[in-house]
Structure 1
């Protein structure tokens, strides 16, 4: 039932229609939305190998698959402190530098056992010889796919990340690495000067992903493989919404490409880590951390043109979603529980669990609105 203008005035508590503030005018123009996606999160420590371990970084957990009575996840793992960008290009720059993708399992989602390296860094000179990190997992027609970021040495501020892929017939591997990256930056901007550690000085910035492609998520949608990702632009700036970070999507008939970037890119004006799921015949997206639309749940019937469904507070970073909840017709089900990471300090992070819930008042309000609509 569409709400009348008079009802909106009353609900918004506007006392004088003849004197509308800018805020009231914006509120009156808001599209009508239910609160089915509004909720909150609790984050807790895990047991076993996902408990904090001094000297070891475990971060960026993938989605969680449930196979043969076990939960499976993949994540970035490295050891030792970070020194930042120095004149010695061999120094570890970030916690995600010198990382490999590891695999862990759990019977209950609480106590986790670290298993083995799933995807290791490549040989010297290969596109992934410095670091492989931020993995996502996807199962399709009995084959398992891992997609992840890659860095080729040397790791400098101006390095251009790419996306790699590996496949296996089991979550236990062995994982076969595709020999070439499946997605690369637009590479059409131009740096200013020759300082390898100056990422902000540019002659022109060009496309939203002219510097890096990050946080890949692979899925099959509308008859094609869709590779969602975070783009970083050469010389990105701090705006009124924070860092300039946007998402894009590329499609292909094969998981190995070639991928065609959507002409509608960028498909978000905000965000950081990519959290994507299937819902109601379309694609849902949780936008966090950066930009004017951060902390929103968005949805696109076509997987490209996203609209805001809800503003959501305190969503965990780098969410690894439980894929048994994918395609659920129950809003917020995808956020029942999953994995995230926490910064213990600047050098070391560890993996935690999040649990999502919806306030009883929110559910009651939705029920009340449904009754009124009948």
Structure 2
């Protein structure tokens, strides 16, 4: 899925292997980004605005064939009528589930996006969408004034009072853990960057209902959700924002995370993990290769493969090995 002028492809899901092929889902839109300065009813305010969810397959994990749309935007007036994007895949009991972000028009600065769900009997679809969102921002913040200023608040509310982003559902201990990124109304910039934190909502059924954990937020740092099962618990790669960015953390219960290692300089965005990896081989085995997106320019992104290696020792510069 090399760069194609005029096309945005970004935020790849995790990779699964079915029918002898690798599958990945991603956000796709066309045209440049105009931002919030013009007519937000007609313009495209972000690269992930006016997206649909597409998918591609590969026999070797290197060369990918774009197959077509999987989940498209809803009809005018629906909670997902403006954009569906930043998708993740889960397989459970021979069914496939896609969770993703949704935005309802108009897409203004203070818009509160939600999380949608679609399911199918085959990775090739057809997909049935949830009639209502499965996760929404907290409703306990209060904006200040009518101006479209996301930093002006009377009351901030919970850590996820503005947006719930980057959903990822993991089957865990007989339940379904929906991890997500929370953005707060009146978000602040700290010494660690944006004040981004993660949360989790738990359900007994893949379709929900999902109930937010009383222990939220479960992190004080992070950006895109990147989680995987390991050693009876859940591991998490924390990147981009916060005082604990560029760390791998682990929680024995999927909630109480502690730093286990530091990874200086993670050069990948919205990592799509290779779910076919042996996650019990060692904690970072699932990071050996996967997909990410690259910013080709200010308007367009494309999806590329990443790889990593595990270093077991460090030799100082000038010292003989």
Give me the TM-score of the superposition, normalised by structure 2. 0.95
Larger proportion of helix: 1
2:53 aligned counterpart, secondary structure:
strand
User: Given the alignment, which residue of 284, 304, 321 partners 2:255?
Assistant: 304
How do residues 111-260 of structure 1 correspond to structure 2 at under 5 angstroms?
111-195=63-147, 197-260=148-211
Does the Cα contact within 8 Å between 1:279 and 1:329 map onto a contact in 2? no
1:334 aligned counterpart, secondary structure:
helix
* 4+ long deviations beyond 3 Å: none
Report the number of matched residues: 312
Give me the TM-score of the superposition, normalised by structure 1. 0.82
User: Given the alignment, which residue of 86, 94, 102 partners 2:37?
Assistant: 86
Does the Cα contact within 8 Å between 1:277 and 1:326 map onto a contact in 2? no
Pick the structure with greater CA Rg: 1
Shift of 1:313: 2.1
| CA displacement 1:98-138 (0-9 Å, x = unmatched) | 00000101111111110010000000000000000000000
| Alpha-carbon distance between aligned partners in 2 of 1:87 and 1:93, rounded to the nearest angstrom | 9
User: Given the alignment, which residue of 230, 234, 237 partners 1:279?
Assistant: 230
Does the Cα contact within 8 Å between 2:279 and 2:285 map onto a contact in 1? no
Q: Does 1:356 align with 2:276?
A: no
Residue aligning to 1:45: none
Structure with greater contact order relative to length (CA < 8 Å, sep ≥ 6): 1
| Alpha-carbon distance between aligned partners in 1 of 2:84 and 2:264, rounded to the nearest angstrom | 31
Q: Which runs of no fewer than 5 residues in structure 1 stay unpaired?
A: 1-49, 363-374
CA RMSD of aligned residues (A): 1.0
Residue aligning to 1:331: 283
